[in-house]
Amino acid sequence: MLKDHLTGPVWILWIVFGVIAALSAFLLTGRGANLIAGFNTASKEEKEQFDSKKLSRLVGIWMAVIALFVLAMALFSESLSVVFVYVFMCVTVIGSVVMVVLANTVCRKRR
């Protein structure tokens, strides 16, 4: 069971969930593009190539998915298998690659 492999208390998962859910909600409003790594350090010319609202919403959706995984781990830590953590890690890695591709295609402004 997952609970047997946790090295800390379950309340830490609840705090992580709260932080990720709050950031996700903020990004879903279309604001907060400066919270996105890489975008906040880009030059003004580079930032103008992207639709910041669309980029914020895309990252917000992805963070909501991650928040749901963390919520599931917090709620069901007593009964979840450790395999769930491996599934979560695989989904996170694959989803992050997909996010980079989408951010550089869908969120770019058309010229």
pLDDT tens digits, residue range 63-106?
Answer: 999 999 999 988 887 888 888 889 999 999 999 999 999 999 99
Question: Which pLDDT belongs to residue 23?
Answer: 95
CA dist list (Å): 74 to 47, 65, 92, 102 = 37, 14, 17, 29
Dist CA 88 CA 103 (whole Å):
21
Dist CA 46 CA 61 (whole Å):
23
Name the pTM for this structure. Answer: 0.84
Question: Which pLDDT belongs to residue 94?
Answer: 96
Q: What is the DSSP letter of 41?
A: T
Range of 16's domain? 2-105
Number of domains in the chain: 1
Question: Which pLDDT belongs to residue 38?
Answer: 86
Residue 110 pLDDT more than 80? no
User: Is 83 inside a domain boundary?
Assistant: yes
Q: What is the pLDDT of residues 22-66, one digit of tens each?
A: 999 999 998 888 888 888 888 999 889 999 999 999 999 999 999
Tokens of residue 28, six digits: 């879903």
User: Is 23 inside a domain boundary?
Assistant: yes
Residue with the bigger pLDDT between 2 and 74: it is 74
User: Is 111 inside a domain boundary?
Assistant: no
Residues 6+ apart with CB under 8 A from 46: none
How far separated are the first and last CA of the chain, in Å rounded? 52
Question: Which pLDDT belongs to residue 5?
Answer: 65
